[in-house]
Amino acid sequence: MVNRVDTSIELCGVKLDNPVIPASGTFGFGREFAEFYDLDILGAISIKGTTREARFGNPTPRIAECTSGVINSVGLQNPGIDAVISHELPALREIFHKPIIANISGFSIEEYAECCAKIDKERQVEIIEVNVSCPNVHNGGMSFGTSPESAAAVTRAVKRVTTKPVFIKLSPNVTDIVSIARSCEDAGADGICLINTLLGMRIDTMRRRPVIANKMGGFSGDAIFPVAVRMVYQVASACGIPVMGCGGVASASDVIEMMMAGATAVQVGAANLRNPYACKEIIEALPEEMARLGIERLSEITGVVK
């Protein structure tokens, strides 16, 4: 039975052999992980978050370990949209032949629109993921994702200049995730990605100061999985567009649980930082887990929990 299961899914017309996608910011531009295994085993790749200008990111230290998770405050370090288009995308396409998801961040609606218009013209990119939820950059994307009105404004601006499916990546650091997701849907979003990291902090008690130079950062890892499942369930139940689930996914069982909550595809984030083989191991374990649960087609379990 294991050999007969179907792990394929479809995301806004884009076919994936399986629903497992390395999350943006945890997989670089893919080439780093190609040293460990054949990337073509993946369903897709969401590349590192990209802004208009090159960014060095936040001061170090940027990482703090936590029980069942990690806090990071990298600050969108990236070479800028033009370098991603001229170098990173062609280099990735040489070693990866599955769908590529471009992750775009910005500090103004104009910057979001400009970057999305540029990336939309690149044939290597199948889906655009718009990050309105990064908590690591002062006066950055997070402000756009914390109200329905501002999230909708970014969505409308991006949709006006793009032809490819646009997924809006939302922050969990809000009181009403459903109202924000609905506003994005009403503004034309093709899908929703959630959740991004929770806002966290650690203190070095010996030094009496925050562990991270930026004081606070994004908390991710196993500990946030129940929050992610809850938000995926809420948004998938309230909206008519597909959801990419993300947050604490670390096993094939987690993928199936996230899909049952309503996700069409599932991103794996912090697990890649702990184990570079995480996505490969999850994908390889999926058929056996499906067989154990009596699932023949993975696409049929999305949103089965009502």
Catalytic residues: 134
What is the Cα–Cα distance from 167 to 67, expressed in whole angstroms? 31
What is the Cα–Cα distance from 53 to 200, expressed in whole angstroms? 27
What is the Cα–Cα distance from 79 to 156, expressed in whole angstroms? 26
Q: Are 70 and 53 in contact (CB under 8 A)?
A: no
Half-sphere exposure of 124 (CA within 13 A, CB side): 22
Q: Where on the phi/psi map is residue 28: left (φ > 0), alpha (ψ -120 to 50), or beta? A: left
Q: Are 89 and 34 in contact (CB under 8 A)?
A: no
Amino acid code (one letter) for 169: K
DSSP string computed for 12-58: TTEEESSSEEEPTTSSTTSTTGGGTS-GGGSS-EEPPPB-SS-B--S
